[in-house]
Amino acid sequence: MVKATKKKWLGYDPWKDGVTQGILATYNDCNQKAKLAAKGHAPQKLGHALEWGIVAHLILEKLHKMQSAKPKKWSPEEGLVISTVHSVTERYKRRHGQRWNGERDQEFDHDVCQMIAVFPAYFNFWKKHPLNWVQVENTFAVPFRVPGFEKEIILRGKMDGVYSSGGDWLLDNKTKSQIVESQLGETLLRDLQINFYTLARKISSGRVPKGFLYNAIRRPGLKLGKNESMPDHVTRIKLHIAEDPESYFKRYEVCIEPSDLAAFQNELTGLLVEFLNWWKGGMPSRLFGQPCVGKYGMCENIAICYNETYTNHRMKEVMFEELLEDAA
């Protein structure tokens, strides 16, 4: 695993740094966005939903790791879950809070209240369905042959977990403001991240995983009342979850057929040929017809692309900061 150290940005080289599903998805979305990421620009401030998801992953990682070291049926008690929420969120705030304004600071305090209500309920909800852990939060780097290039490229990423149930299953944690079942099901079979991780697992283990478990957690939508204290707000969220826990916690097991994975492997090969040639060609980008305003609002790079203003961005230390050991 790579240790985080203070580094000066040295530029992106896929042959040294590897390729993640994130940079490929960004390239698919907008090649200008991928170019900015490859030149080291990262937004100072992350979107609220994205940051909620990052912190939730860190909390799950800690608690799932504890579970993996205990007998299968062990589940953390409420007090342990709450103290873990506090330790993870306090650490996260110490590391990232200096980039926030006062409004984001308050919003984060509200996020912590939501997490104090959500995660004990999550572990309580699933305690009768324990997973037989093989690994939790596994950082991978596996070689992949791309036709037309001499060297193998390294596929990199971080899986949420692997458990065993008649073969390997991959865990994919997702946080959502709403869990819409009709939008899931078979559509997950075409999810780039899921397929990328499944293929990486096949390459590292030599076996096709049985499938993946889509582990969805809903982010509460309740607002803090005008005269409501934070502890009262936590109680209200807890009651809301207790009324309908199935709308907060859902898991879908999706089986993978070897033929599905072979089809993905072909598609990934084509995408990598295109991406690597694009990088080699100096990363030419298109500014017209890009998804600058999407379903989550304006792209975080608007100020750069429209006004050449970089003040809302910082320079990264390494290309894939999310893969550093202490990325939190």
Q: Please identify, using beta-carbon distances, which residue of 42 and 66 lies nearer to ligand SF4.
A: 42
Q: How far apart are CA 49 and CA 218, in angstroms?
A: 11
AA letter at 47: G
Q: In the numeric block, which tokens belong to residue 306?
A: 């429209």
Asked if 236 contacts 220 with a C-beta cutoff of 8 angstroms, the reply is: no
Q: Please identify, using beta-carbon distances, which residue of 30 and 241 lies nearer to ligand SF4.
A: 30
Q: Please identify, using beta-carbon distances, which residue of 19 and 299 lies nearer to ligand SF4.
A: 299
Q: Please identify, using beta-carbon distances, which residue of 98 and 307 lies nearer to ligand SF4.
A: 307
Least distance (Å) from ligand SF4 to the CB of residue 257?
Answer: 35
Q: Please identify, using beta-carbon distances, which residue of 20 and 84 lies nearer to ligand SF4.
A: 20
Least distance (Å) from ligand SF4 to the CB of residue 40?
Answer: 14
Asked if 207 contacts 251 with a C-beta cutoff of 8 angstroms, the reply is: no
Least distance (Å) from ligand SF4 to the CB of residue 117?
Answer: 35
Q: How many CB atoms lie within 10 A of CB 174?
A: 19
Least distance (Å) from ligand SF4 to the CB of residue 248?
Answer: 32
AA letter at 313: H
Least distance (Å) from ligand SF4 to the CB of residue 299?
Answer: 3
Contacts with ligand SF4 by CB under 6 A lie at: 30, 32-33, 287, 290-292, 299, 301-302, 305
Asked if 256 contacts 194 with a C-beta cutoff of 8 angstroms, the reply is: no
Question: What are the residues whose beta carbons fall under 8 Å from the beta carbon of 282, sequence distance 6 or more?
Answer: none
Closest to 38 (Cα-Cα) out of 50, 26, 47, 48: 26
